[in-house]
Structure 1
């Protein structure tokens, strides 16, 4: 069977190819085009690889491109550093074990409880695994069923959270989808990630549109404004950190502005 990561690899190549125009990469427009973007043979030419080889890559065939080929494709498709790193991650060979929910070590749990500002821990699937009292006051994680304690589900499928972010909801949600896409593709085909993807597709029409764009973003700090139902207008600067105990654990801290 084809590795699902190879399918995502090919889909990512196609999505980046379709967003480019011949003018962008210095090629003549040529005859009228029936579809948007570059042709496969044009990408192959720019990358200095065979057309048949490129087609096999885009079709998600079980082939193993070299680092040199990946770098050439990144240049040809004008990938950002984040997109280039994503392409490399999808091209890696190796057996992947099934996803298992992470466990937060007691010292980390005690640490976040000691913080005055809202803080919580998420895992690879963006499940909320632990949080402090300040985070509970803002986000109410403890009021949710365990299967719904996931930041993607909370922002994309929860109507109350949508109101929470107001006019800024779309920007927040779209950014989250692009960041999650980078993780999902590496875990493509895993039952736990497939189940989450199904719930997101069923619960958010906007998610479906953004997901098909296959945009990739790295995690970054920023500002969020929230219209809390009981506390009024809140503004936070948020940032995140990986835990040395387990790099899959991410600490997110919201500092009031």
Structure 2
């Protein structure tokens, strides 16, 4: 068997194995009637990747077709491939991994969204690689902002912090919090130098925020970590919250941030909910 044929067969085996490990709920599809196929159906993967079912079938069958990098990125997103798997499929087809990470939309898993909701009345939210808010419970939305009601491009912690005037009212120590957040963002940019989404967000922040333009040249880098935040609410007044940052094992760039308050403040937050 020729080398291209071996690579095509390996790609097909990889796609099939990753399709079979996913369930409809994992990718936001209804389960439907009783299923005979293990995992997702081929046509469901094709639908998620916006390619024809026939073309996807050819790929799984190991036929020597050469999908573009855009198609491979779409398949990687549809099949929830991690960074190493994504690079591997590019190497199988094109002989080298992509030079950067595309600005694909991220999403929190249904299990993680459910956990965030179950943590109420303790505030909790999940952010992705670019600090997009991927999930939040009612307590977090009560204290910060109603993330789902914001335009998709504005559901981002950095964008909210630096461009929404309400953030300066909510965050008692706004300057310190904003500078630390920008420092954590700089560390992420350094870890993912080819990430188009990080670069695009940085450009938008520079255009919109004088603080970003002034602080970015200082090269401050801040680590992820636990600590204390002071928030201001129109009904509750000032609330002090202790937060813990947890990284998701399946998606290390996804961060679950949970908050706890003293008994009195926690009871008051629960009362507002």
Same fold (TM over 0.5): yes
Contact 1:101 1:123 (8 Å CA) reproduced: no
C-alpha deviation, 1:94, in angstroms:
8.4
Which whole-Å deviations, capped at 9, do the CAs of 1:53-109 have from their partners, x for residues lacking one?
xxxxxxxxxxxxxxxxxxxxxxxxxxxxxxxxxxxxxxxx98443242222111111
Task: Name which of 112, 128, 136 aligns with 1:131.
Answer: 136
- Would you identify which runs of 4 or more consecutive aligned residues in structure 1 move more than 4 Å? none
The equivalent of 1:8 in structure 2 is none
The 8 Å contact of residues 100 and 196 in structure 2, kept in 1 or not, is answered as no
Distance 1:189 1:97 in 2: 6
2:260 alignment counterpart: 255
Q: CA separation in 1, counterparts of 2:212 and 2:244?
A: 23
- Aligned partner of 1:106 in structure 2 is 110
Question: 1:197, CA displacement in angstroms?
Answer: 0.9
Distance of 1:252 and 1:153 partners within structure 2: 18
Decide whether aligned partners of structure 1 residues 107 and 190 sit closer, same or farther in structure 2, where only a CA change above 3 A counts.
closer
Aligned residues between the structures: 164
Q: Is the 8 A contact 2:243 2:258 kept in 1?
A: yes
1:222 touches 1:238 (CA, 8 Å); kept in 2? yes
Mark the runs of 5 or more structure 2 residues left unpaired by the alignment.
1-96, 263-273
Provide structure 1 residue ranges, at least 5 long, that are not aligned to the other structure.
1-92
Query: Post-superposition shift, 1:155?
Result: 1.0
The structure with the larger Rg is: 2
> Cα 1:250–1:94, aligned 2, differ >3 Å: closer, same or farther?
same
Question: Could you say which structure has the greater relative contact order, defined with CA pairs below 8 angstroms and 6 or more residues apart?
Answer: 1
Match of 1:153 among 148, 153, 159: 159
**If the length of structure 2 is used for normalisation, what is the TM-score?**
0.56
- Cα distance between partner residues in 2 of 1:149 and 1:158: 11
Secondary structure of residue in 2 paired with 1:160: helix
Matched with 1:30 is none
Match of 1:184 in 2: 189
Q: Is the 8 A contact 1:102 1:123 kept in 2?
A: yes
TM-score, L = length of structure 1: 0.60
Separation of aligned partners in 2, 1:225 and 1:137: 14
